Structure 1
Amino acid sequence: MGCLASKPRDAGGNRRRPGTAVEVAVFVPGLRIPKSVDLSQTLGNSLSRNLVERLSALRTRIVVMAAQEAPTVTKPRRKTATQHGGSSLADLLQALEDYLPVLLGLVKNGSQSKDKVQFVWVNQEDVAEETGMANAWYEVLSVLHLMAMLCLSEANSLLLPKMSNDCYQLKVSEEDQRTTIDIFLKAAGYLDCAIQHVLPQIPPETREDLPLDLAEGVLRAFCMQALGQSVDIQLGMAIDSPKATLAVKRRLACEMVKCWHQAHNSITQVPLTDGWGGKHHLFIKWKYAEAKAAAYYYHGLILDEGNTEKSHGMAIAALQAAEEFLKESKRACEVFNAMPPTSRNPPLWGSARYLLEKIPKDASSKARINQDLYSHERVLEPAPTLPDFAVALKPDDYQLPPVDPSWNEQNDHQ
C-alpha cells in the first residue's frame, strides 16, 4: 500500500510498474518488508555475542525471504483444482514466527537495549519511502502486520476460482472455502493481538509517527474485513445448502453488514485518499454496499411471508433497497478496479453470483405481485430497519509467544 507506508504528506505514493490488472478477491496491500540493519553495531556492547548473532540470523532470513516473496503477493496465480501452492508464503510465515520469541526478549528482558536499534521497513509499492523507528515494539508490530498480510494473500489465492477436476467450470471448492475461513480468522487474530497488546506498548507521541498502514484504524479495518469475508463465505455455503432457512441466511447477511460497517468506520478515521490506501477504502465501500444488498434482500423475503398489506409493503421497500445497494456496489467495484494499481474481478461465485441474479428479479416480481394484490395506489415505504445480530465469528485468540530461552543466557551474563 504505497500511500499507507508513507506519512500523510506522501499519501499518494505509488511506484508500482504498470502491467496486467490482477484479480482481486481479497484486498491485500503491498507488503511492508524489513530492510537489513546491523544489530551487532548497536547491540554488541549490551547483549551477548550469541544472542546478537541469533537475532541477526533470524532477521536476515526474513529480509531475504520477504524480498523474494513480495512481488508474488500482488500477482497471484490461479492454479487448477489439483495443484497446491503457498509453500513459500508458509515458509516466510514460519520464519516470522521463529523470530518473534527472540525479538520479544528485546522488549521484555532487554529493556535497556529496546530503543537502540533503528528498525527499518519499506513498502514494496513505494520503495523510495523507508520507515525506520528506534523502538523494538515497532518491530513486533511490523512482524504481526506482515504475518496478517501473508494470510490475506493466501486467502486471495484460494478464493480465485480454479478449473474443476472435470475441466467443466471455474469454481472455488468447499474445502478451499473452509480453509479460507480458518486463514481469515488467523489473520484477524494477528491483527487483534497487534491492536490490543502491541500498540498500547508504543508511547502515544511515537504512535503518531507510525506509517499509516500501521495506524490503529487501518489495522481494525483489516481485522473486520477478514471477519466480513469469512461471513460472506458462510452465506454462500448457506445459499448452497437446502437445509439453511431464510432466517439463517438473513442472520449471516446482517452479521456481514455489521463487520463491513465497523471496517468502514475504522478506515475513515485514517487520511487515505490515493494509492493503495484509497484503493483499500474503495474495497470496503464496495463490500459494505454488497453486504447491505444481501441483508435487505433476505429481510425482504422474510417480511413478504407476512399476511398483511403492511408487511408486504415493507418487503417491497426492503427489496428495492437491496436493488439500490446492489447498483451502488457495482459502481464502487468499477471505481475500485479502475484505481491504480488496476485490478479486475475474478469470475463470480458464491453469494455474489447468486444475489446478482436474484435481487433484480425478485424485487421486480414482488412489486408486481403486490401491485396486483392491492389495486389502490400505495405510498412508497421507507426501507425497514435491519435486525441487529451479534457477529458469531471471532478472531483467533493469538497471543504473543513466550520469550525464547536463549535470553536466559543473557540474564546470566548480566
Structure 2
Amino acid sequence: MGCAVSVYRVGGNKKPLKIPLVTVLVPSIRIPVASNIQKPLKGLVPKDLADRLTSLRNQIFLLAEQTDVSAVPELLRALEEYLSLLVGLTDPELGCRELIEFRWKSLDDGQKEICIADAWFELLSVVHMMAMLTLMEANSKLIPDQTVSSESEESTDNIRSAVDLLVKAAGYLQFCLREILVQIPPHIKMKLPVDLQESVIEAAYIQALGQQVSQLKWPPLTHSHSALYDFQGTEMQLASAVGSKNATLSVKRRLACEQLSYFGQAHYCLSTCDNLNGYGKKHLSFIKWKYLEAKAAAYYYHGLITDKGTEPSCHISAVCCFLAAEEILTESKKACLNFCLTLPITRAPAAWGAMKHLNKKIPETAAKKSQMYAYLLEEEKSLNVLPDLPEFELSLKADEYQMPDKDAAWESEKWVIPNQTLKTHLTDDEEDD
C-alpha cells in the first residue's frame, strides 16, 4: 500500500486500476482508528479539550480514508495540530498517559489493528505517519507525468522538492528514534508492530538519508537557470553531477560511495529485524536494489580514476573495476525485477539520472577497456584483483524536527473542571454506553 499512495488514495478501499510506479519507497503506513478518548478523560480534563482531541483524531482518520496524495499537506497540518494537544497527555503530573487505548490499523497487512494504552505510542504513531506521508509526497514528485510522455524526465524543480521532502522525512524518523522510542518502556516496545520497531525505523531513516545528503552546491541542470542549486540527495546529487561538466570524477565517485554506504547500513538494520512482514520484505528488496545500483556506479567511477595512472597495474585494476561494475549492474536489474514482483506488485520508473547514463556507459566501457588491455590481463594474471573501494566520511544531516509547543489549553488558568454528583456521573456513563 505504501508505494501506491502516490497514485491512489491514502486509505481508500478502491482497488487500484494500474500497477503504481515507485521511485521512493514508502516502507509502511498506519492510520488511526476510532478510539474512546472522551470517556477515560472525563473529570480529569475539561470536556472541550477532550472534544478537540477526539475531533482532530477523527478528522485525521477521515482525511486518510478519503483523500489522495494531493491532500497530504492538509493531512500533515491536522497531524501537527493534533500533536500540540497530544503532547499534554504525556505530562506525568496529569497521570493521563495510560488512560486511553489508542487504536491504529495498517494499510499494508490486511487492515490489521493494534491497540495500546500509552500516549507515547500515539505520539510515535503520529510522527511516523507524518514521515510516511512525506515520503509519499517525495515519490509523487519524481513520478513522470504519464499524460505527457512515458519517457518524460523529472524537472529540476520536482527533484529539489523531493529532496526537501526527503530531508524532512529523515527528520521525523530521527525524532522517533531519539525522542520518542526512548520514552516507551520495554513491555510496550514488545507489543509494537514490526514497522514501528527501532531497527525498521532506523532503516527507513537511513534510506531517506541515502537519497539525500548535507547541502552541496551544484551547477544548474539546464541552461535556463543561472543560480546554483542546493542538491541534498546522493542519488539525485549523482544524477546532477553526471549531467554537469564541472563535477569531477572524484566527486562522482564519492557520491556513489556515500550512497553505497547509506544503503548498506539500511540493509543491515532491516535484515536484523525479526519477523519481517510481507511489506517489510519488499522494503528490504528495494534497499538491495538501490545498494547494487550504487555499487555498480562506485566501481565504474573508481575504474575511471584508476585508469588515469601510468602503471600497467593501474590499467588492470581499472578493467577489474569495469567488469565488476558490469556484473553488479546486471545483478541490480535482477534485484529491481525482484522488488517489483514482491507483493504488493509495483513498477520501477524508467532509468533516469545517473543510472540512465550508466546503463549504457558501463557495458560499453567494460568491453572497450577489456579489449584494449587484454594483453596486460593475460601477462599479469597475478594483478587481476578487484581493488577495494575508498571509504569517505559521511556528512548526512536530517532536517531536525521540533515537537510543536503544547497547546495553550493545557496551561489555561480557566481550566476548571466542574464537580459532578454521583448521579450525574452515572448518567453520563449511561449516555456514553
Q: Aligning the two structures, in what range does the TM-score lie when normalised by the shorter sequence?
A: 0.7 to 0.9
Instruction: Indicate which of 148, 158, 171 corresponds to 2:131.
Output: 148
1:245 aligned onto 2:228: no
Residue identity in the other structure for 2:395: A
Q: What do residues 367-393 of structure 1 show as CA deviations (whole Å, max 9, x unaligned)?
A: 221225676253363321111112333
Runs of 4+ residues over 6 Å off in structure 1: none
Alpha-carbon deviation of 1:161? 2.1
**Deviation readout 1:44-102 (Å, 9 max, x if unpaired):** 12111121112112111111111123xx46xxxxxxxxxxxx3x011001111111111
Contact 2:313 2:383 in 1 (8 A): no
Give CA-to-partner distance per residue, 1:153-180, whole Å, 9 cap, x none. 1111111123698x79501011111111
Aligned-partner residue type, residue 43 of structure 1: L
CA distance in 1, matches of 2:277, 2:31: 21
Give the structure 2 partner of residue 379 of structure 1: 382
What is the Cα deviation at residue 142 of structure 1?
0.5
Deviation of the 1:29 alpha carbon = 3.9
Task: Measure the CA separation in 1 of the matches of 2:28 and 2:130.
Answer: 13
1:114 and 2:117 correspond = no
In 2 relative to 1, CA 169–383 (structure 1 residues): closer, same or farther, beyond 3 Å?
A: same
Over alpha carbons, which structure has the higher Rg?
A: 2
Contact 1:317–1:380 under 8 Å retained in 2: no
Q: Distance in 2 between matches of 1:411 and 1:217?
A: 44
Measure the CA separation in 1 of the matches of 2:169 and 2:120.
19
Residue matched to 1:232: 235
* Whole-angstrom CA distance in 2 between matches of 1:380 and 1:160: 45
1:170-228 deviations in Å (ceiling 9; x for gaps): 01011111111110010000000000100000001211110101011111111111111
Q: Percent identity?
A: 42
Deviation at 1:28, TM superposition (A): 1.5
The aligned residue for residue 206 of structure 1 is 188
Structure 2: how far apart are the matches of 1:393 and 1:352? 22
Deviation, structure 1 residue 309: 1.2
Partner residue, 2:315: 312
Q: Which has the higher contact order (CA 8 A, sep 6+)?
A: 1
| Residue matched to 2:258 | 255
Q: Aligned to 2:322, what secondary structure does the other structure show?
A: helix
Which residue number corresponds to residue 35 of structure 1? 33
- Are the counterparts in 1 of residues 316 and 377 from structure 2 also a CA contact under 8 Å? no
What TM-score, normalized by structure 2, do the two folds share?
0.84
Note if contact 2:27-2:204 (Cα within 8 Å) is conserved in structure 1.
no
Confirm whether residue 399 of structure 1 aligns to residue 380 of structure 2. Answer: no
Alpha-carbon offset, residue 252 of structure 1: 0.6
Distance 1:129 1:225 in 2: 26
Unaligned runs of 5+ residues in structure 2 are 3-12, 212-232, 418-433
1:220 corresponding residue in structure 2: 202
Say whether 1:323 aligns with 2:326.
yes
Q: Which residue of the other structure, out of 59, 74, 82, is the alignment partner of 1:61? A: 59
Assess, with a 3 A threshold, how the Cα gap between structure 1 residues 304 and 68 changes in structure 2: closer, same or farther. same
For residues 277 and 303 of structure 1, the distance between their equivalents in structure 2, rounded to whole angstroms, comes to: 39
Gaps of at least 5 residues in structure 1 are 3-14, 74-85
Structure 1 179/164 Cα, relative in aligned 2: closer, same or farther at 3 Å? farther
Q: How many angstroms apart in 2 are the aligned matches of 1:410 and 1:119?
A: 28
Partners of 2:158 and 2:85 in 1: CA distance: 34
CA gap 1:199/1:226 in 2 versus in 1, 3 angstroms:
same
Letter in 2 for 1:23: L
Q: State the distance in 1 between where 2:15 and 2:303 align.
A: 46
C-alpha distance in 2 between matches for 1:142 and 1:110: 23
Shift of 1:30: 4.6
Which residue in 2 is equivalent to 1:180? 162
Instruction: Give 1:16-31 correspondences, 5 Å limit.
Output: 20-31=18-29
State how far apart, in whole Å, the 2-side matches of 1:18 and 1:405 are.
43
Question: Alignment partner of 1:20: what SS?
Answer: coil
| Distance change (3 Å), C-alpha of 1:100 and 1:53 | same
Per the alignment, residue 45 of structure 2 pairs with 47
CA drift of 1:113 comes to: 0.7
Among 79, 103, 111, the residue aligned to 1:96: 79
Residues 34 and 103 in structure 2, CA contact (< 8 A), matched pair in contact too: yes
1:337-352 residue pairs with structure 2 within 5 A?
337-352=340-355
Question: Following TM superposition, by how much is the alpha carbon of 1:110 offset from its aligned partner in structure 2, in angstroms?
Answer: 5.5
Computed over aligned residues only, the root mean square deviation of the Cα atoms, in angstroms, reads: 2.3
Encode CA deviations 1:132-166: one digit per residue, 9 max, x unaligned.
1000000110011110111111111111123698x
- Give the TM-score, by structure 1 length: 0.88
From 261, 273, 276, the equivalent of 2:279 is 276
**SS at structure 2 position matched to 1:112:** coil
Once residues 203 and 171 of structure 1 are traced to their aligned partners in structure 2, the CA distance between those partners, rounded to angstroms, is 47
Other structure's SS at 1:170 match: coil
Identify the match of residue 123 of structure 1 among 92, 106, 110.
106
